Structure 1
Amino acid sequence: MPSAETSSGRKRKAHTKSRRGCGNCKLRRIKCDEAQPECKKCQAYGVSCSYDGEGSNELQHSGEGAFRIEPAVPDGGTLVDFGPQNLPTPPNEFPAGMLGYGLTLHDTEEVYRITEKDMDIFRRFRERTAMTIGTAQTVDTYRDAIGKLGCGHSYLTHVMFAMVLMHDRYLSDDPWGPPSNAETFHHYHGTAIFNSMLSKPIAHEEKDAMWGAAALLGAITLASMDATTPEESWPLAPSSPSDLDWLRMSDGKKEVWRLADPTREDSIWRSALQFDYKKAPTPQTYRRPEVETLIPHLTDLYGVDDLSKEAGDPYHTAASIIMRLLPIQCTHSTILYFLSFLGHMDPAFKQLLHQKDPKAMLLLAWWHAKLLDYSAWWLQRRATLECKAICMYLQR
């Protein structure tokens, strides 16, 4: 029988083998693009590319031990589809039952097997990192429920791992150092799978995990910053397409909120996220002469007390929120009030920030300055560097 046809008469697509492909692509049994010095497949996958012909049964990540990536094929069996609709049944015992569990990876049929080291990451998330993110109201949900959700939603577990490894880096002797290969690996696969999920209708059973991933990615994006000095930070650094990416991430979170509706009746997030500003106790304020002196000047500069300016004024909402926040101390219990500044930011105001409008930048600098009251690791670097950078920019 001609090799181009099967017994059913269906024509088989011609396939050209990559004879000079890299070792990792051969190991993964995919066609290598043979780009030099590193092929694009390895760059996208987050592994160290090598053409030396020396293969192993592990994909190597430069500078660290290897990640063991296994084909999703049982010994002597047929290919197992670990797509979203055919995930293995999550273990009943958490987290002990997660050892050896297979997490799906982006754009490949292979899986990532959870190791003993990963089990320690689960522990650090529950006992440390979960206590530092979100608000005082969401701690229990992050600590107890999000890990269990991750059992059946690989992208959430990847994002959780990336956040813990980022937290490790911020607590290390080299907090300004680049992310580890493990952090990059999990961040890439978690984000890529998450984005692919957003490109299609979200199934009801995915909604809680999708919001959990969006919330963690929001904190990761705020914490992700290459700059180590104000001069390397926005707005002093040379302009880049990635400028103010963290503001765009807040827009994405609002869209996921709309799609996932985490306050719906059966959501695990409902009790933690139901927040009625009208019924909530007023945050404790404190008197500071410099703040009390500043408020009349801000009122005059932004015309906050002029109701006629509210409609169509791009500064009005941002200025009104900042003035309410000035006498409030930012803490784990009040952080939600400060994050509302991002959630209610007008598109026209964001455009002014991209244009480096002085009045818009002044409000953002005050917001950053207020965040310095709260020693959250995922906020401090950006708040410190960008606040100083904006002040230097305006002074110049």
Structure 2
Amino acid sequence: MPPSITPRQQRPPSGQRTRSRKLHRKSRQGCANCKLRRVKCDEARPQCCKCVSYGIGCSYEPGASDMQLAVSGAFRVDLDLSRPVPKCISQTPSRLPLASRDGQTYELTLSDRELLINFTNSNILPVGSGANCFDFQSKTIKLAQVNPYLLHIVLTLSHLYHVHVNGNQMDQKITSALAFHWYQGTALFNAKLSQPIKDEDKDPLWAAAALLGSSAFADIRATSASEAWPLARSSPLDLSWLKMTGGKRAVFKIADPQRPSSIFHPILVGPGHHIPPTPRVGDEVLVLPPRFIQLFDLDENSTPDSNPYHAAATVLAQIMIAAESGPPGMAKYLCFLGFADPRYLNLLAEKESGAMLLLMYWYATVIPTQQWWIWRRAIFEGPAICSVLGARFAEDPGLLELLEFPRAVFAAAATTVPYAA
């Protein structure tokens, strides 16, 4: 029997109500990408609204089957360091304390200050939505002036960003600097968490947790899918970015950046900022491939408590719906990780087919946002998962069909340059 995904429960007996997929008028004149994604095309010319909102190219040419990402306007970064030094950088302390070294300090180098200027001037980590989605960096750099652990962590992410936008490989100098700031920032951060938390500690602690999570996601040394999880040889570092989820949740609970007194409150609070799992399965799951409803038991009996796939699947469905009506903020995409069930994460660590299938679809959904810190991991781990599942599903045409959409997205991403050097 070919390997496949086994449903958690038996399907309802004949005669019991089952969820059916909504029918709509079939569009035979739709664009190639809508046909590939199996969504209804509005047939607008020269580009349909679905493709524009999803961030992919649109083609009505006969035989067009390859998905192409729309890259205009993506990754516009300003690396001009000759402009005046921002006031928030000039006020940054020149020396930082070191972890476990009483009295010893680290003196910021010219390179460090250039990285801090770049952090301030570039859209390294847009958080929130709307006009204030880039306020996170300016608020964070001010907090870093009086919280050394946060400044070390800012430098960690800035090193990773600099490597990415310049297309550089991790040489020994960069690797050493990255490891130094990562260790110092994490050690000082953990030391702060071990002490009584004051109100003034909450915002910098949350900012540090957010930056560490992004750094862990961005730090991937693979240069091809064959070197990436789950194809690569197993390592203790596998899914390290995902293993931080529980810790980030704990810090979020302690810091509560959505409280009215938080400087991040205007960024993080607003309509539609979060997409929590639904208590019960509703019509939102109908946007998913029909086979998903059976594979993940997304019926009326499914709840977050009873089904380890429930949270990931219902959040993914809501993200896909939001993407069809316009580019949602990154916070919505990150809800897939933030609300992930620990049981689901364990299945993912075990390379269980269903868990990897959901993650692969999330990668395919988030790739069009072209967020630099997600990009490399998505374009390597996504195809690696696709390769593993392709072998497992080889004798099941229905399951193989589920790989067509993400495979097309990954193929398009492989030919896209996601940064402006």
Q: TM-score, normalised by structure 2?
A: 0.64
- Partner of 1:35 in structure 2? none
CA contact (8 A) 2:139 2:263 kept: yes
What is the aligned-residue identity percentage?
33
**Higher alpha-carbon deviation: 343-352 or 140-149:** 140-149
Structure 1 residue 364 and structure 2 residue 359: aligned? Answer: yes
The counterpart of 1:227, out of the listed 222, 227, 233, is 222
Structure 1 residue 268 and structure 2 residue 279: aligned? Answer: no
SS at match of 1:103: strand
Structure 1 residue 119 and structure 2 residue 113: aligned? Answer: yes
The counterpart of 1:147, out of the listed 138, 141, 144, is 141
The structure-2 alpha-carbon separation of the partners of 1:341 and 1:173, relative to structure 1 and needing over 3 Å to count, comes to closer
The structure-2 alpha-carbon separation of the partners of 1:296 and 1:184, relative to structure 1 and needing over 3 Å to count, comes to same
**Higher alpha-carbon deviation: 367-376 or 299-308:** 299-308
CA contact (8 A) 2:149 2:188 kept: yes
- Partner of 1:197 in structure 2? 192
The counterpart of 2:94, out of the listed 78, 101, 105, is 101
Alignment partners' CA distance in 1, 2:360 and 2:343? 18
Q: Provide, for residues 179-202 of structure 1, a one-character-per-residue CA deviation record: whole Å limited to 9, x for no partner.
A: 432222212211111122222322
Gaps of 5+ in 1: 1-92, 281-290
The counterpart of 1:259, out of the listed 233, 244, 254, is 254
CA contact (8 A) 1:295 1:323 kept: no
The structure-2 alpha-carbon separation of the partners of 1:357 and 1:223, relative to structure 1 and needing over 3 Å to count, comes to same
The CA deviation at 1:271 is 1.3
Alignment partners' CA distance in 2, 1:223 and 1:292? 32
1:3-152 correspondence to structure 2 within 5 Å: 94-98=88-92, 101-108=94-101, 109-130=103-124, 132-136=125-129, 139-152=133-146
Gaps of 5+ in 2: 1-86, 276-284, 392-421
- The root-mean-square deviation of aligned C-alpha atoms, in Å, is 2.7
The CA deviation at 1:360 is 1.2
- Partner of 1:171 in structure 2? 165
SS at match of 1:329: helix
**Matched residue pairs, number?**
293
The structure-2 alpha-carbon separation of the partners of 1:177 and 1:368, relative to structure 1 and needing over 3 Å to count, comes to farther
SS at match of 1:363: helix
**Higher alpha-carbon deviation: 265-274 or 199-208:** 199-208
Structure 1 residue 238 and structure 2 residue 228: aligned? Answer: no
1:238 aligned partner, one-letter code: R
The CA deviation at 1:214 is 0.7
1:191 aligned partner, one-letter code: T
- Partner of 1:374 in structure 2? 369
- Partner of 1:313 in structure 2? 307
The CA deviation at 1:135 is 3.7
CA contact (8 A) 2:322 2:328 kept: no
The structure-2 alpha-carbon separation of the partners of 1:293 and 1:323, relative to structure 1 and needing over 3 Å to count, comes to closer
Q: TM-score, normalised by structure 1?
A: 0.68
Q: Provide, for residues 76-130 of structure 1, a one-character-per-residue CA deviation record: whole Å limited to 9, x for no partner.
A: xxxxxxxxxxxxxxxxx632233x6221111112112234433322211111144
Alignment partners' CA distance in 2, 1:176 and 1:103? 25
The CA deviation at 1:353 is 0.9
- The structure number with the bigger radius of gyration is 1
